[in-house]
Structure 1
Amino acid sequence: MDGNSCNSLLFHDKELSCDLLRDLNKLREAGLLTDVIICTDDCEFPCHRNVMASSSPYFKAMFCSNFRESIQERVTLLGIDSDTFRQIITYVYTGGILITVNNVFHLIQASSLLQYDKLIGTCLKFLQDQMTPQNCLSMICLSELFSLKSLKEKARHMALKCFKEVSLSEDLKELSVSELLDYLGDDDLYGEEEHVFETLMSWIRHDVQGRKCYLQELFKKVRLEYVHPMFLFHFIANDPLIQSSMFCRTMLESACRVIFSLNSNISPDVKPMWHSPRRFSHQEFLINVGGRKDSQQTTRDVLLYNERSNQWLRLAKLPLRLHKATAVSLHGSIYVLGGLSMANKDKTVTSGVYILSLKLNQWRIGEPMLVPRYSHQSIGYRNYIFSIGGIGEKQELLNSVERFDSIYNTWGTMANMPVAVLHPAVAAKDQRIYLFGGEDVMQNPVRLIQGASYQFRSMLSSEFYCGKPKSWLFIAGYTKRIIAYDVTKNTFVKCADMKDRRMHHGATVMQNKIYVTGGRSLTVDNTIEDSDSFDCYDPVTDTWTSKGKLPNTLFDHGCLTLQCIPTNLK
């Protein structure tokens, strides 16, 4: 051996502790050298005090302090059944335990009492892995019973996120009224207000006599301002239990006066409802519908932009190719109205209406307009869609206006435009529809503002943004200039210019900003170029920023904002 060799060796037997514990377990099973018998309800378990004291603070305090159990030959445990304690003993002596859905709750209860923290943590992870919308409410109750904070947070998150599935579980019907009030009143509840109403009514009807006294408090949790008007009108208003409560009837009448009022000034005795939807239930999406894409082909594409993921998604295609139709959003659906049908060589002017449900991603046929038209303009608000002007079947310039009532699914005739124009920009505010510019029959620009007074509450179209002063409407297109029109003063204010002259583009408002998509631009050498640009204007800072590119060049398309609950959209 050379002089550099170590003259000592530190030996560590990694298997000794495992072997030692294994042998102790064999001694325990044989009843040898045990010095205490732990008794449960109907069984006795001979054990070693030193092993049990080393395994948990509970037994350490019991056997190493001045408690009488430290010298007793037999110790009785209360509140733990024999099968559960047998598993605990096996875990203590072997380090292994089989956790199942049938024993996990008993193991958590016993581990909590006996202070086996690692076992509690393992059971907690097992429960989190087993958690479903059908059992998450039970896990909330369990977490409160044993002060399991992380389990409660995850179960609560699932209950709020998966509201539709959770509301169908039997556990929900067994909640106390305070638990249900807390659940339905949570701002993070991910669901539609119609379903909130159905859920509380289902809970009440589970025990009508015992629970109908809570109807008043529960009904307050329904944010009636965000209930679909048709559901409010046909279902909530006609529910016998709601009609039996004076408070609910009064609250419902106030909501209906706000939603269905024909006047912009609501009486002071009508208290406002909630000012915003639940935080994560509704999301705004920008949607481009149809138009002409690469090579100027009329497209059936429907593109959805998700701002949170900064991605474009393709929705179900339009049922047929339509040129110069209009598209509006209403109650979580997209309405496409009129246009030139490109289904055959004759190019038929249509009065057809097609409706896309974002929830189902399916198109259906709606009630047709009274007059076939294209190159018209449409606007949607609350329960109505207005379809304005355009070109008719005989290529005549139309000044007619018609209105669709989504509650009764009917179209009606309204007052005509003073001057018939094509492609006007349209917005509505304070009981008036405003038409800005447009083209005459020779496609010459028209410098004209038209206003029509219709009795309905304030609204904004996708073409305009009611900005810093609430009386401003913003106008973009045909030139690089952006101007804001002050409704109250009947004056214009210049805003920051777009980067290029744009026409035949789409524009909508999302998150209090104006988004402009595609269109056609005029280059410096006066040639027309199709655009795939996607730009955003912030009225607060009066600045433009690029949001990237569209999936393809696009013009003469519909551009709108749809607020809904995303189900399959990430």
Structure 2
Amino acid sequence: MTLHPLSKTLEVFPFKDPELSSHMLSQLNSLRNDGILTDVLLCADNTEIPCHRNVLVSSSPYFRAMFCSNFVESTQGRVNLKGVSANVLRGIVDYVYTGAITINMDMVLPLMQAASMLHYGRLFQACSTFLQAQLSPDNCLSMIRLSEILHCDSLKEKAKEMAVRSFSDVAASEEFCELSLPELMCYLEDDRLCAEEEQVFETLLAWIHHDPFSRRGAIHDLFKKVRLRYIHPTYIFQFIANDPLVQSSSLCSEIIDSVRRLMLSVSAKCGSELKPLWTTPRRYTCRESLVVVGGRKNNEQTSREALLYDERTQRWQWLAKLPLRLYKAAYVCIHSILYVVGGLSLNVASGEGAVSATVYTLSLKTNQWRTAKPMLEPRYAHQSVSYLHFIFVLGGIGVDKQISTSVERYNSMFNRWEAMSPLPTAVLHPAVAANDQRVYVFGGEDSMQNPVREIQVYHISRNLWSRLETRTVKNVCAPAAVIDDKIYIIGGYTRRMIAYDTKANRFVKCENLRERRMHHSATVINNKLYVTGGRFLNGHDIIEDSDCFECYDPKSDAWSSRGSLPYKLFDHGSLPLICLSNRPNTP
């Protein structure tokens, strides 16, 4: 009878025992503990530890060279390891035979030195990992010095990261004042440094004053590391320019004078001597964050809320509330400060409103509202835009309840408002943007609520207006925003979005909005356009309030949703504010 196998005969069976290596190591450790087949004694501090040469040779290039070459130790039964304590040697031998060791603060440094000497690389890195877990602003500078002695790059990088991330705490320490000039320069030029530029300047001053006799000559080299472009002009010209150390350096004074000339020239372009300093980008820790402020909330009442959007968590955070409710104020930011300009302050009891010239400011650093220098004229339903160190306020409705043509400018360099040439055509709710020494006013509506089909262009340096009639413009209650010399006009009782190319003097059609939108707000963060809230016409031509939060990418000409606002909102401000974060961006 012939037997037919149910399955094919297994010709090859590759087998690997996953427990063999650990079992063998355990057996070798048992042999060592019982003194069986050990053939060498490792000695330290009059302590002898029996070991197997072959185990030591297999574990370390150091012992391989010692026992497999013509060194005298290759034939000796006792090997004295100088510079290694008995306690550390026991720990290393246990690690060799078991792969395990307990690291603590008392033994980590001698263990790390011994691991380096004996070429136990993974043990060395384990010690580095342990020390990295102990890092704090109080000890990170000491850890950097230690890492240099031990030649431990991983510890040095983590300690340096801690120092730049917690710069405020570290800079206040006595140890920081003992840094060498090259070390301090390295910190001040680090893009990851978590500090505002005012603090960078104050830190270098403190370092010099710690030893003024030998350090005052370094003021110019250090001063060049301060990114003056991102400092408020008041601070530059009232504090930095008047500092005795800065004044004592002709080179520092020349830099201050160049900045002053640049600002007075109303030009975004600087000379060759200032360009390397002025064009340095912001540090990675300075992030543009979206802030939404004011407006009409849930179609009920004017809102005092101010919200900040956290891109990482994709959540909204509540900031300090506006001091009072303002109807149709203007919103603008300059020098990382949010300005709420004018508006109509409503008296709930009487139902009447007072037209305001008041200016409120908010800094994320303090999260407190303050009053700033008021405008020359009270107004509401006006437009506001920033350019360089200026804020421009245009039109609106004054105390006489008439549409105004007046224009005024806030000069942050001198902290004053000044009247400028008036608008050629009085308009309400135009789209306004500033680019390349010009302010552009697109469309809007006249006193009879008819659309105005023209572009009004203000030449900042000449204080002159020009007009351009065009059938392309027909926007009311639409915001405008600038990306790469293109001014985007977003909606305005329409789904249409167009971009005006200021260099080519022509309009470009963009991807439409999803609904016919008006009374919304828009701003640019990281070269993307963010649109918040507003009102829209639904499919039945009924106006509804919106809580939508959308993003437009000009590279792909596509819209995407970013979720929603915490409530429905229109006639609000949407602005990019610089937020200092101790979690640096990647370059």
> TM-score band, normalised by the shorter chain?
0.7 to 0.9
How do residues 513-552 of structure 1 correspond to structure 2 at under 5 angstroms? 513-552=528-567
Deviations 1:349-404 (A, max 9, x none): 22222211112322223232232221111112332222222222342333322222
2:330, 2:573 within 8 Å by CA — same for their partners in 1?
yes
How do residues 457-496 of structure 1 correspond to structure 2 at under 5 angstroms? 463-467=479-483, 470=485, 472-476=486-490, 477-487=492-502, 491-496=506-511
Deviations 1:68-124 (A, max 9, x none): 35667986655x3xxx61321342566697755455333322332234445434422
Q: Kindly provide the amino acid, as one letter, of the partner of residue 123 in structure 1.
A: C
Cα 1:541/1:120, change in 2 over 3 Å: closer
Cα 1:49/1:350, change in 2 over 3 Å: same
Distance 2:506 2:28 in 1: 88
State the partner residue of 2:159: 155
The answer to whether 1:194 aligns with 2:198 is yes
Cα 1:259/1:567, change in 2 over 3 Å: farther
Select 1:369's aligned residue among 362, 375, 394.
375
Select 1:556's aligned residue among 571, 574, 577.
571
Aligned partner of residue 225 in structure 2, secondary structure: coil
Distance 2:138 2:359 in 1: 40
Q: Kindly provide the amino acid, as one letter, of the partner of residue 510 in structure 2.
A: C
Deviations 1:449-484 (A, max 9, x none): 323333399xxxx9434445x3x4222223222233
State the partner residue of 1:30: none
State the partner residue of 2:4: none
TM-score normalised per structure 2 = 0.80
Aligned partner of residue 273 in structure 1, secondary structure: helix
Select 2:310's aligned residue among 306, 310, 314.
306
2:290, 2:525 within 8 Å by CA — same for their partners in 1?
yes
Q: Kindly provide the amino acid, as one letter, of the partner of residue 353 in structure 1.
A: V
The answer to whether 1:105 aligns with 2:120 is no
Distance 1:56 1:48 in 2: 17
Q: Kindly provide the amino acid, as one letter, of the partner of residue 441 in structure 2.
A: L
1:285, 1:304 within 8 Å by CA — same for their partners in 2?
yes
State the partner residue of 2:88: 88
Aligned partner of residue 531 in structure 2, secondary structure: strand
Cα 1:568/1:109, change in 2 over 3 Å: closer
1:503, 1:520 within 8 Å by CA — same for their partners in 2?
yes
State the partner residue of 1:45: 47
The answer to whether 1:410 aligns with 2:424 is no
Displacement after TM superposition at 1:292 (Å): 1.4
How do residues 101-500 of structure 1 correspond to structure 2 at under 5 angstroms? 101=105, 103-117=107-121, 119-263=123-267, 266-267=270-271, 270-342=274-346, 344-345=348-349, 346-455=352-461, 463-467=479-483, 470=485, 472-476=486-490, 477-487=492-502, 491-500=506-515
Aligned partner of residue 399 in structure 1, secondary structure: coil
Distance 1:130 1:45 in 2: 31
1:427, 1:435 within 8 Å by CA — same for their partners in 2?
yes
Cα 1:489/1:21, change in 2 over 3 Å: closer
Q: Kindly provide the amino acid, as one letter, of the partner of residue 87 in structure 1.
A: N
Q: Kindly provide the amino acid, as one letter, of the partner of residue 248 in structure 2.
A: S
Aligned partner of residue 405 in structure 2, secondary structure: strand
Distance 2:27 2:72 in 1: 34
Cα 1:108/1:395, change in 2 over 3 Å: same
Distance 1:210 1:102 in 2: 38
Distance 1:14 1:62 in 2: 22
Q: Which runs of 5+ in 2 are unaligned?
A: 1-19, 464-477
Distance 1:263 1:88 in 2: 66
Cα 1:261/1:101, change in 2 over 3 Å: farther
Displacement after TM superposition at 1:253 (Å): 2.8
Distance 1:492 1:15 in 2: 78
1:53, 1:64 within 8 Å by CA — same for their partners in 2?
no
Cα 1:278/1:20, change in 2 over 3 Å: farther
State the partner residue of 1:507: 522
Deviations 1:127-178 (A, max 9, x none): 1110012222332332233232322232232223223223223333333333
Distance 2:39 2:506 in 1: 96
Cα 1:447/1:87, change in 2 over 3 Å: same
2:40, 2:78 within 8 Å by CA — same for their partners in 1?
no
Aligned partner of residue 394 in structure 2, secondary structure: strand
Cα 1:411/1:57, change in 2 over 3 Å: same
Distance 1:98 1:268 in 2: 59
Moved more, 129-138 or 278-287: 278-287
Displacement after TM superposition at 1:53 (Å): 7.8
Displacement after TM superposition at 1:557 (Å): 1.0
Aligned partner of residue 338 in structure 1, secondary structure: strand
1:53, 1:61 within 8 Å by CA — same for their partners in 2?
no
Q: Kindly provide the amino acid, as one letter, of the partner of residue 540 in structure 2.
A: D
Distance 2:533 2:545 in 1: 8
1:486, 1:492 within 8 Å by CA — same for their partners in 2?
yes
2:356, 2:379 within 8 Å by CA — same for their partners in 1?
yes
How do residues 21-40 of structure 1 correspond to structure 2 at under 5 angstroms? 38=43
Distance 1:456 1:238 in 2: 31
Cα 1:243/1:341, change in 2 over 3 Å: same
Aligned partner of residue 549 in structure 2, secondary structure: strand
Distance 2:225 2:273 in 1: 21
1:389, 1:400 within 8 Å by CA — same for their partners in 2?
yes
1:188, 1:281 within 8 Å by CA — same for their partners in 2?
yes
Distance 2:135 2:449 in 1: 63
1:327, 1:334 within 8 Å by CA — same for their partners in 2?
yes
Cα 1:456/1:69, change in 2 over 3 Å: farther
Deviations 1:258-315 (A, max 9, x none): 3443346655665353535245222122222111122433222222233444333332
Displacement after TM superposition at 1:325 (Å): 0.9
Cα 1:409/1:249, change in 2 over 3 Å: closer
Distance 2:541 2:584 in 1: 41
Aligned partner of residue 290 in structure 2, secondary structure: strand
Distance 1:484 1:69 in 2: 80
Distance 2:101 2:554 in 1: 63
Aligned partner of residue 390 in structure 1, secondary structure: coil
TM-score normalised per structure 1 = 0.82
Displacement after TM superposition at 1:506 (Å): 0.8
Distance 1:241 1:106 in 2: 45
Distance 2:584 2:536 in 1: 32
